[in-house]
Chains A and B, each alone.
Chain A
Amino acid sequence: MTSVPLDKVSPFRKMRLSHAAVFWIGFCAIMALLIIAPLVLPEFWRRFLTEILIWGLLAMSSDLLIGYTGMISFGHSAFFGLGMYGAAGALIAFGPPNLWLAIFFGLSGAAGAALFVAFFSIRLRDIYFAITTLIFSQIFYVIIFTWTAVTGGENGLIFSRPHLWIPLLYDARFTSTTMHWFVLAIVTASYLILRRVTQSPFGMVLQSIRENESRTRAIGYAVERYKMVAVMLSGLFAGLAGVLYAVQNQFAAPDFVYFLTSGDTVIFNVMGGIGTLVGPIVGAGFFQLMRDLLSRILGDQFPYLIPLGVIFIAMIIFLPQGILGFARRWLNK
C-alpha cells in the first residue's frame, strides 16, 4: 500500500506521498476545520453546520445500501424516525434524562424497524426494493401518526435535553458548541467504522452483490444474509442520526418519518456522489446551503424545492456521479 500509484490521473503522483498519508492528512485538515468552526461561527451557522453533519450521517448510512450494495432504500425515514422516537421515549420516561439511555433506546428502535423491513425486503431487487422500503416506512408513519396516546400523534413529542455526561469525566449542559463537537465525534466515528466496514471482506461481498448478484450467489455467498446485515447496519446508523437530531432539537415529529425524509436522503446521496461515504455528507451540505441561499434570494414564500428539484434532475442527467464522484475510486482505496 505504500508504493506510489502509477495511475496517470492521480494528482498526487508528483508529491511522493503515499495514498494513505494524503488521505489522513486531508482527513485531519478537514477535522481541524470542523473542530474550530463552532468557535468562530455565529450561532445560526453553528447550528446549521451541526444539522448538516446529522443529515450527512443519515445520508451516509443509506450510502452503504445505495452505493455499496446497489439497493436504493426509500425507507430510511423509518429508521431515522424510530431512532428519534426511541430517544424521545427514553428522555421522557426516565428522569433525569440520560444521553446514553436515549442513544440505547433510539438504536434499539431503529434496529427493530430495520429487522422488520430487512426481513421482508431483502429478497427483492432494484425498484421492487425501493418501493417496498418506501411502503414499509409509510407503515411506521401511519402507526406513529395515529397512535396519539404514545407518540403524541400529529403534535409529536417535546422533551428536555439531557446533559452531556461522560461517566467519571464530564457532566455539563449541552451548549451549541459542545453539541457540535459531540455530533462531530459521533459522525466521525461512524464514518471511520463505515469506511472500515466497506473495506472489509464483508464490504467486498456487498460490492460484489452490487456488481453481480447472481454470480455472488453462485460463488457461494449467502447473499440474503449479507443484505440483511447491510440493511440492519445501515438502519442502525440512520437511527443514530435520528437520536442526534432529537437531542439537538428537543422534539420528535411524525413529519420526519414521512417518506419525504427518505427522499431527501436519496437526494443527498445522488448530489454528493454515491459510493464514497463522504459524498453524501457533502451532498447534504450542498443541499442545505442551496436551500438557505435560495430562500434568501427568492424570499421565504417561494418553495425552494422547485429550483432544487430542477438542479437535482439536471444532476441525474448530466452528473450522475455526483459532486465527489470523480474521487470515488481514490476515496475507497
Chain B
Amino acid sequence: MDAVGHFFHAIPLDLLIIQTVNGIVAGMILALVASGLTLIFGIMDVVNFAHGELFMLGAYIGVVIVAATGSFWLALIGAALIVALIGAALQIVTLRPLIGRDPLNTILATFGVSLVLQNFALWWFGPTARRIPEPLGSSFTLFYLQYPWYRILIAGLSAAIIGGFWLFLKYGKFGVWIRATAQDRVMAQAMGIPVPLVYTGVFAIGAAMAAASGVLFAPLVGVSHTMGLDWVLKAFIVVVVGGMGNLGGSIAAAIFISLLESYAAIWVDPSQAVIVSFVVLILTLLFRPTGLFVPTPK
C-alpha cells in the first residue's frame, strides 16, 4: 500500500492540470472530427474511410489560403467551403451509385477515395510538412508553462461549431430534414423530403467539419499528407466507444479518450499512450458493445 501511496504522491498536481487542459483541447478537435463521421454514419450508413483525408485536405487548403491572403480566419472558412464542395462531388460520384447495395461496398469505395486523396496530396504538395502560423501569438502562464491562448481558442471554436451544428439540426429546415431521414428514410421520402439531396448535404457538412478541424489543428503540428490516418483511426475508436451514429455519445467519448491519453502520456511515451484508447475500445466491446455514452437499450 505504501508503494501505491507513494506512486500517487509522485504525480505533481500541476502536471495533472496541464494534461487535463491538453486533453480537453485535443478532445474538442477530436469531437469535431468524430461528429462529422458519426453524422455521416448515422444518416447514410456509410463508414467514411476518407474522413481523415478530408481533414488533411482542409489543412492543406488552409495552408494555401493563408499563404495567399495571410488571413487565418479566411482560411478556416474557405477550407470548410471548398472541402464541402469536394465532399458533395465525391458523394455524388462514388457513393450515390452504391445506394441500395450492401453497406460494405461503401467502406471499400471510401477507402479507395482516401487512397486517391492521400496520394494526390503527396503528389501536389510534396512530402515536406507545411506549417500555418498560429493566428494568436499571446500566451498565459500555467504553472511553469507559457500556455498559448490559441489552444484554448481551438477548444472554444470547436465547441462553438458543434453547438451551432446542433442548433442547426434542431431548428434549421435542412436540419429537420436530416433528422427525419435518420429516423425513417422511406417515410421521409414519402413526406416529400428530397432524400438524395439530404445525403449529399450531410456528406458535405461532415466534410466541412473535418476540414475546419484540420485548419484549426494545423498550427499545432505540421501539415503532411499522412496526418489524416491517425485522426481517422482515433475518430473510429471514438465513434464505436460513443455508440455508432450517436452525436452526444461521440463528443463525450472524444473528450474521455483524449483525457485518458493525455494522462497516460505523463508516464509513457505519447506514441504508446494510444494503447490506452485501444484498451478502452476493447473493454467497451466486451462489456457494452452498444457504446459507453448511450442509454442502455431495452
Chain A residues within 8 Å of B, Cβ to Cβ = 72, 120-121, 123-124, 126-128, 130-132, 134-136, 138-139, 142-143, 145-146, 259, 263, 266-267, 270, 301-303, 305-306, 308-310, 312-313, 316-317, 320
Contacts and interface: CB of A to CB of B under 8 A. Distances in A.
Contacts of A123: 285, 289
A197 B98 CA distance: 32
B97 A317 contact: yes
Interface stretch (B151-159, B232-240, B255-263): B232-240
Interface residues of B, number: 37
B275 A142 contact: yes
B274 interface: yes
A134 B286 CA distance: 17
A303 B236 contact: no
Contact of B240 (A128, A270, A320): A128
Nearest to B275: A142
A138 B233 contact: yes
Centre residue among B94, B119, B269 by max chain A CB count within 10 A:
B119
B101 interface: yes
B108 interface: yes
Centre residue among A142, A303, A320 by max chain B CB count within 10 A:
A303
B237 A135 contact: yes
Interface in B225-283: 233, 236-237, 240, 244, 269, 271-272, 274-275, 278, 281-282
Interface stretch (B27-35, B68-76, B109-117): B109-117
Given A124-B285, A142-B272, A320-B101, A263 B233 contact: no
Contact of A135 (B97, B115, B122, B278): B278
B116 A310 contact: yes
A308 B116 CA distance: 8
Interface in B96-127: 97-98, 101, 103-105, 107-109, 111-113, 115-116, 118-120, 122-123
Contacts of B94: 313, 317
Q: Provide the main secondary structure of the chain B interface.
A: helix
A135 to B, nearest CB: 6
Contacts of A320: 101, 105
A310 B274 CA distance: 32
A317 B233 contact: no
A139 B240 contact: no
B236 A316 contact: no
A132 B284 CA distance: 11
Interface in B16-33: none
B111 A120 contact: no
A15 B120 CA distance: 50
A142 B240 CA distance: 20
B47 A130 contact: yes
B115 A142 contact: no
B47 A306 contact: no
A312 B109 CA distance: 8
A127 B107 contact: yes
A187 to B, nearest CB: 25
Nearest to A130: B107
Given A128-B244, A270-B108, A135 B275 contact: no
Contacts of B120: 303, 306
12 contacts: A123-B289, A127-B104, A127-B107, A130-B107, A131-B240, A134-B233, A135-B278, A138-B274, A266-B111, A301-B123, A306-B116, A316-B105
Contacts of B289: 123-124, 128
